[in-house]
Amino acid sequence: MLTELSEKLLSRRPLLLALTAINVAGFVFGLWFYRFQLATVPAYLWPWLLDSPMPVLAFAIICGLLFLHKRLPGWFALWTAVGLAKAGLWTALVLVLHWGHFWALSPAITTLNLPLHIGMIGEALVLAPRIRVGRLALAGVAGWYLLNDALDYWAGTLTAIPPTYVSALAIESVAATVVFTAGLWAAQKYLKGPSK
């Protein structure tokens, strides 16, 4: 069922164009959202600071590759899907836990952010049947996101959030890295998507 849904959504050219545009817009919004933190964090840490916008941009690139009938690198599909699922779940949790705080800052952005980040999880699921990787790619993707977790909680690249629940969110982040990376890697045996 998931494989069929993935094929339907990611093989229709008008939909691929729409998904590309939506995700590019999401990336641009993410840059705007992180603009103050980008000014204070060294540029070499930006890829980890932008842990939500980066996989959104990657999904736009994937839609573009599929639109052009280009080969989709398996490691890139895995990296993108893990990032979408991790950032989508984490942000949804943070918004629910700190709803009053974010609502006070901007009701419109807070209201939009929740379904948009849940949508990121949906994009990860749609991408899952296209993941075809070996153990080296698995290790590389897991290493990237574990480094992301370490930098977030011990080097200052964490999104600006209230300090409540930070320890629990750190545990959730590491657990999500392990579960999503291993789960998507293992699922490739059961989800028979296109080989290219």
Inter-CA distances, 132 with 91, 98, 147, Å: 27, 37, 23
The pLDDT of residue 195 is 47
The pLDDT of residue 155 is 87
Whether 13 contacts 64, CB under 8 Å = no
What's the pTM? 0.93
Amino acid at 7: E
Residue spans of the domains in the chain: they are 2-187
The pLDDT of residue 134 is 92
Torsion on CA atoms 104, 108, 110, 115, rounded to nearest 10: 160
List CB contacts of 56: < 8 A, sequence separation 6 or more: 23, 26, 27, 30, 84, 120
pLDDT in tens, 98-151: 999 999 989 998 999 999 999 999 999 999 999 999 999 999 999 999 999 999
Whether 16 contacts 66, CB under 8 Å = yes
pLDDT lower than 50: segments of the chain: 195-196
The pLDDT of residue 183 is 93
The pLDDT of residue 194 is 56
SS3 189: coil
